[in-house]
Amino acid sequence: MLSASLIMEIRRELDRGDLSHREISKRLGISRGIIAAMAKGERGDHGRVWAGEGVRSIPRRPLASPVRCKECGGLVYPPCRLCQARACLERTLATRRLLRGADPSRRAA
């Protein structure tokens, strides 16, 4: 997390406009990515995205309300990842059982 004084200094340098992002980052010891994101308005104070005048806001997908899974009964955001993982594991185990049964070298022993 950046300190308030460092954020103010970055904003001051960006507003002044006489230094490049690379020069600002070297001078203040901050990554160029943070400087560029602050210049574009994609990063606000302490990493929070902020929407101000003349700054584009990053669209956020509204989260659906959690619901009860019909299979396991857990309170989840659909689709239920636990049920998907359990189904994948069951398919893997079933495939292994089939392959073990179809292996002729095992039956001969």
Query: Which residue has 């309170």 as its token pair?
Result: 75
- pLDDT score of 93: 95
| C-alpha to C-alpha distances, 11 to 22, 37, 51, nearest whole angstrom | 14, 11, 15
For 2-51, the pLDDT digits (tens) are: 788 888 888 889 889 899 999 999 999 989 988 888 888 777 665 555 55
Q: What domain range is 18 assigned to? A: 4-47
Q: Is residue 62 included in any domain, yes or no?
A: no
Q: Is residue 17 included in any domain, yes or no?
A: yes
| C-alpha to C-alpha distances, 26 to 11, 13, 20, 43, 85, nearest whole angstrom | 15, 12, 10, 19, 46
Write 15-21 long-range contacts (CB < 8 A, 24+): none
Q: Which residues in 63-94 are b (16+ Cβ under 10 Å) and which e?
A: eeeeeebeeeeeeeeeebeeeeeeeeeeeeee
Q: Indicate whether 76 and 42 sit together in one domain.
A: no
Q: Is residue 26 included in any domain, yes or no?
A: yes
Domain count, the chain: 2
For 48-85, the pLDDT digits (tens) are: 555 554 445 555 555 678 889 999 999 988 889 999 99
What is the model's pTM?
A: 0.42
Q: Is residue 79 included in any domain, yes or no?
A: yes
